[in-house]
Amino acid sequence: MSDNPEITADRPDSPIRLAGTDHITLIGSNEDDTIEFYRDLLGMPLVLRQPNLDDPESTHLFFDTGDGRILTFFVNDDRQSSEQPLRHQVGSVHHVSFSVEPERFVETKEALEEAGRGYNEFDRGIFHSLYTRDHNGLTIELATDKFDVPDERRGEVLATAQRLRVEDGADFAEERHLEAALEELGIESEKFELPDAPSGAGR
Q: For the segment 94-114, what is each residue's pLDDT rounded down to a tens digit? A: 999 999 999 999 999 999 999
pLDDT beyond 90 at 32: yes
Confidence of residue 1 (pLDDT cuts 50, 70, 90): low
Q: What is the pTM of this model?
A: 0.91
Q: Could you report the per-residue pLDDT of 57-81, keeping only the tens digit for each?
A: 999 999 999 999 999 999 999 999 9
The predicted model gives 104-130 an average pLDDT of 95
pLDDT beyond 60 at 203: no
- HEC assignment per residue over the chain: CCCCCCCCCCCCCCCCCCCCCCEEEEECCCHHHHHHHHHHHCCCCEEEEEEECCEEEEEEEEEECCCCCEEEEEECCCCCCCCCCCCCCCCCCCEEEEECCHHHHHHHHHHHHHCCCCCEEEECCCEEEEEEECCCCCEEEEEEECECCCHHHHHHHHHHHHHHHHHHCCCCCCHHHHHHHHHHCCCCCCECCCCCCCCCCCC
pLDDT beyond 90 at 199: no
Mean pLDDT of the chain: 93
Q: Which of the two residues, 5 and 191, has the higher pLDDT score? A: 191
The percent of residues above 90 in pLDDT, for the chain, comes to: 83
Q: Could you report the per-residue pLDDT of 51-62, keeping only the tens digit for each?
A: 999 999 999 999
